[in-house]
Amino acid sequence: MIPWLGKAPVFPPDDQALDEPNGLLAAGGSLSPDWLLAAYRRGIFPWFSEGEPILWWTPDPRLVLVPDQIHISRSLRRTLRRGRFEVRVDTAFAAVLRACAAPRAPGLGTWITPAMQAAYLRMHELGHAHSVECWREGRLVGGLYGMALGRVFFGESMFALETDASKVALAHLARLLAERTYAIIDCQMTTAHLQFMGAREMPRAQFVTTLGRWVPDGPPAQKWAADAARHFTWP
C-alpha cells in the first residue's frame, strides 16, 4: 500500500517507495506549482494515466546524464555539423508538449494527460519548465521539454518526426547546460537510447544527495532566450 497525500505538498520518505512497481511513492495531491516544485526538489515526479489518481514516483536507481559527458556518435556529429535543423529554445513549449503527448502508436494512450499538459504549461509560464525545439523549413520536427531547478534539469519527454531530431535537441540542451554549469540532467527511467548517449544509473540515495547540493544553487526561474543554443559549433 502507498499513502494518500493530504492538502499540503508533503511527501513520505524516499525509502518508503515500492520496489515493484519501482519507485511508486504516493498518490493524490495536486499538480499545482507548489506541489510540483516540492516534488522535484526531492527527485519525485508525477506519472499516471487518464482516469487514475495522481501517482508520484522516485525510482531506484535513477538515470542521469552529466551535461559535458554526453556521447555524440559520428553520425549525429555529422548531422550537427550540417545544421540540418534550426534549434530554438522556449519558442513553442505548448507545441512540444502536445507532440510529446501524442500516442506513439495507434491505440496507445499517453501519460501526458490534459491535466499534465496544463500543469507544465503553467510551470513554463513561471519560468521553471523549458523546451528545446528542432525546426526544419518552418516546421517543428523534434524536441524535448523538462524542468530546471537550480543547476539540475529534470527531463520529461522528447519526440522526433524526423531522424535524429530528438538527439539534436538533447545535444544542444547538454551544451547549453554545460555552459551554465548545470550538474546533471535527470533522465528518470533507464533506456538503452539514453545510456548510449552517456547517461548512467545512480543510486537513489546519491541522486537525492546530489539534488540537495545543486537544486538550491542556480539562477532564478525565467524563460530562456530563443537563440540560446544558436551559436554552438560541433568540431
**Exposed/middle/buried for 43, CB within 10 Å: 0-12, 13-18, 19+?**
buried
Please give the pLDDT value at position 235: 87
User: How far apart are the C-alpha atoms of 177 and 234, rounded to whole Å?
Assistant: 16
User: How far apart are the C-alpha atoms of 57 and 51, rounded to whole Å?
Assistant: 17
Residue 171 per-residue DSSP state: H
Residue 51 grid coordinates: 482516469
Q: pLDDT of 180-226, one tens digit each?
A: 999 999 999 888 989 999 999 999 999 999 999 999 988 899 999 99
Residue 202, SS3 per DSSP: strand
By DSSP bridging, strand 184-188 and strand 152-160 are parallel
Average pLDDT across the chain, whole number: 95
Structural contact between residues 224 and 130, judged by C-beta atoms closer than 8 angstroms: yes
List, for the chain, all residue ranges whose pLDDT scores fall below the cut of 70.
104-109
User: How far apart are the C-alpha atoms of 128 and 121, rounded to whole Å?
Assistant: 10
Region of residue 198 (left: phi > 0; alpha: psi -120 to 50; beta: else): left
Please give the pLDDT value at position 108: 54
- Sorted by where each starts, the structural domains of the chain and their CATH numbers stand as 4-60 (3.30.70.3550), 63-214 (3.40.630.70)
User: How far apart are the C-alpha atoms of 134 and 142, rounded to whole Å?
Assistant: 5
User: How far apart are the C-alpha atoms of 87 and 133, rounded to whole Å?
Assistant: 6
